[in-house]
Every structure is written in structure tokens, then in C-alpha cells.
Structure 1
């Protein structure tokens, strides 16, 4: 769902006291048409948000493709028509959104397809390593690209990580989480096969294998099978996962491969707006 206030805030951020260049050069009553094109192949995303920005300023905006479409370079993704000053004021915030969200969607689509090729059951997910204030948009872009939504916040579920375990042991941590709430799933980070078995045996719903090699993940899964615990838990792999290593982690048997790089190292897709 679009956060209208956030998108309006992007307009105010870019022109807090007006667009003085357009106001000086462009007549107030001048009408114009423009087209937004993707300058490179991508999975397009952010069109819904971009259209809202134009429409909010009184510009008609029509998407030429749907969010999630894989398009070649040169594709017109949106046409706009209305007051020239408003088109120019909306241009940069709209292009920033399309470029960033399309970059995330494109990277996620590639990673998800790579994971499924190695293991049809494997899924890819973004993490909470998002730009402050942009988490909802970053997560939406990843979902458009075919990723799982993963956690949106620390309020969604119990996430028992290494720093928690430095203070409270695995078994006690899981016990306290269950006592706190029965309505939230429990995920426990494990850095070894033994810890994975302990977490599963204690009652974790998800075991997070952190910073393990694909061989280490396979070893942990073997240990869980030997203990008769594999089918009780979802296995998530995280930590320095790259596009190149996704197939190996999927092939090792991970259920979910979470990748901070999908959102913390975004390469924007090049998109441009041209007056027609």
C-alpha cells in the first residue's frame, strides 16, 4: 500500500521552497507531454509510486508496462501529460524511485531464478539492511522481483541472534520467547551444526545458519536429519551471500537465502524522462 505522506515528503525534500529554475524559465500555463524510458534491460518497479507523484501534482500519468515486467533497454514505461512545471518538479523523485526499486527488483529476480535452478524449493529474501526510511519500498521492490518479504521489523517475530545468545543460552532463550508469546515464530541463529541441532531441539521454528559456507550448511542439515529434526524447522542461510554463491547455498538444501546485498548495495537502473 502506498504511503502517500512519504511520497509527498520526497517532493518537499527535492523542492522545499519551489523549483526556482522552472518557475523562472517555464510559463505557468505551458502544457507538455513526456515519456519515461528504461535505458537498460531490467525488471521494472516503482511505477505505482512514480504515477502517484505525478498525479499528486496534477499531471496525468499512464504506465505502459506493469511493475514486475522484464523489459529490454529503450522501453517506454510511462507517459505523462500536464503542466510543464509540474512534470519537471516530479521528474527527479519519480525517476529516483523507479531507478532504485527497479535495481532491487532486477537483482532479486536474478538471485531467485538462480536459487530455483539449483533447488526449486529454495527462496530468496531481502533483509532489514535497507536504507533508513525506505524499508517498505525496498521490500516491495524485492517482492516484485520474486523475493520473499522476510521480516519487516523486530516486532514481526522472535529473532534470537548471537548477541542475545552471549547473554542467554539457546535453550533458555527459546523458553523465554515461548513464555513471552505463543503467537510469534521463533528464529535462532546458529554458527555450527551442533548449535543448529540445539536450536531445533529447543523448539525453534527457524534456524538461521549465519556466515556458513555451503559445505557448512550441508553439514548442519545432515546433523539435523541424523537427529530427526530436519522437518521440524525452516532453514535460513544468511551472511555475505552473493549472487555467485546463491546456487551453492540453494543446492546445499537451504529453504530461504536472505541477502542483505539486495537492498544495501543497490545499483540503480538508468531511467530517464524526455519531453516529447
Structure 2
């Protein structure tokens, strides 16, 4: 379960409804009772259905049917329905649809990437970076979890991941290796991982006592050879590949034998295509 605050839900509504719905107001239909239904148009991994239901409830609608985040649906499957007056349904319509289309798009993209990667290497895991689209982090995290990935880092406070920028201030890789015992003693419950761009540094780190190496923008062929050699030196070393991993090359990177793939691509997925229908009074024959 990912906690998404009510304040976040209210912000989504307010972005679309700063004051009132002028169209519904001028048509004079606000007090008429109806039903709204959300349906997949393509195969979709659901995400943030619960938050979309919260949007509906927040404006005064009653949710009458919902399928949970993480379910994989074929095209043409209803998954969320609510009743209420036309004013409430129209207030919730676009905030809920926008949330669902982004979140389900990310979840579906993540799921497809996981399938591609694990077809090549059943043990590899996908980890998404913290480079989310600004303002979307809570729903992005929930969506990638729904698709079968995990966050690589939720923020800089939780992991020790050393980049070249850090090493520049530390005096280089050799200075870092000298200080590594002290660093590890201070964060005994954490893994210490270093990002590298060349094989010479990777091999130097493999015998240094480091917990893991993250390879940045190393081509898959060279990486496969390096992973084989590094694992023979240090079988317990965690190995990650990052940088430019996408649908076209993820299987090749997975096949290198790395433990995990670090990527940003899911956050920029094509939105899911979610159909929204509203009817007055009688409702739909099939709510789900």
C-alpha cells in the first residue's frame, strides 16, 4: 500500500476545478442523478483506482464498484463506477480520468518492461530512478509497484550511492577506497554502491569491499563480459545497469547477468486510454 494524502487528492481536483463547473452550471443539469463508468480501451495494468475513487467521493459521488490497483485487464473491461448528481460527476470526471490515464500508463509500461527483461533473465529486477516528472511522485511510485518494479531510490536520505560528482570532492576513486572502511562502519545497515563508467574502475572496486557497482551507459556487450569476470572475482557483489535502458534494449541488458536494471523510462509512458461514460438516472447494465 502506498500512502497518498487527501491533500494531494484535493490538489488534483482544484487544478481542474478552481471554483465551479461553468458548463454544467449554465446548462442547469447539476441536480440530475446519473452514473459514471471508467473502462479500459486496451490491455491495461490498473493503478490509482483507489485515489480516483477518492476524487469521486470528495466531490460527493458514491462509488458503487471498483477493481484494485495491480489487476491486469483486457480491453473493454469496466473497473470503476459511481453515482451522484451531474454536478459531482462532472467535477470528478477529468481529474479522475487524468490520474488513471497517467498512473495506468506507467503501470502498464512498467509491466511490459518487466516481462521483456525477465524473459531474458528471470532473476533480474527493475528499479526506477528518482527522476520522476515533478509533482507526480506519489502516483508514479504506486504505479511502478503495480507494474512489478521497485523504486531504486525514493530520495537521497535512504541509500548510499556514490557518483563521480562525489568522488571529485573526495579526491578520486583511490581516496574513496582508502576511506571505505570508515564509511561502511558509519552506515552498517546500508549497502554502499558506486556508479562507474569504465571497466578499470569497476575491477578496482570489485576487490575493495564495496557492496555494489552501478554501471552507467556501458553497452550491453561490454557489460556482459565485465559481469562474468567481476562475479568470478566477487560472487556476492551487487551489479546494476543504468542509463538509456528502454523497450528496445532492455532484454539485451537483462541478458548480461546483472542483478538489476535502473531506468526512468516508465515515468514517460504513453498514457493509458481510459473510456469515461456518463448516463442519466438508470445507470449501466454492467457496472464492472
In the alignment, what sits opposite 2:78?
76
Match of 2:58 among 56, 59, 62: 56
Instruction: Name the SS of the counterpart of 1:105 in structure 2.
Output: helix
> Does the residue aligned with 1:7 lie in a helix, a strand or coil?
helix
**Could you tell me the TM-score, scaled by structure 1's length?**
0.92
3-state SS, counterpart of residue 207 of structure 2? helix
Distance 1:212 1:142 in 2: 24
RCO higher in structure (CA 8 A, sep ≥6): 2
Deviation at 1:28, TM superposition (A): 3.9
Quote the offset at 1:179 in angstroms. 5.4
Choose which of 209, 220, 235 in structure 2 pairs with 1:214: 220
Q: CA deviation at 1:171?
A: 4.7
Count of residues paired in the alignment: 273
Deviation at 1:58? Answer: 1.5
Mapping of 1:162-201 within 5 angstroms? Answer: 162-168=164-170, 169-173=172-176, 175=180, 177-178=183-184, 180-201=186-207
Structure 1 residue matching 2:80: 3-state secondary structure: strand
Q: Kindly state the Cα deviation for residue 50 of structure 1 after the two structures are TM-superposed.
A: 0.3
The 8 Å contact of residues 194 and 220 in structure 1, kept in 2 or not, is answered as no
Question: 2:286 maps to what in 1?
Answer: none
Q: Offset at 1:205?
A: 2.0
**Residue 230 (str. 1) matches residue 235 (str. 2):** yes
Q: What is the CA distance between 1:266 and its match in structure 2?
A: 2.0
The answer for the alignment partner of 2:265 in structure 1 is 261
Measured in 1, the distance between the counterparts of 2:59 and 2:199 equals 56
Q: Which residue of 2 aligns with 1:145?
A: 147
Q: Unpaired segments of 5 or more residues in structure 2?
A: 280-288
Are positions 1:244 and 2:244 aligned together?
A: no
Structure 1 position 180, deviation (Å): 4.7
| TM-score (norm: length of structure 2) | 0.88
Alpha carbon RMSD of aligned pairs, Å?
1.8
CA deviations 1:147-171 (Å, max 9, x no partner) are: 1222111111111112222332235
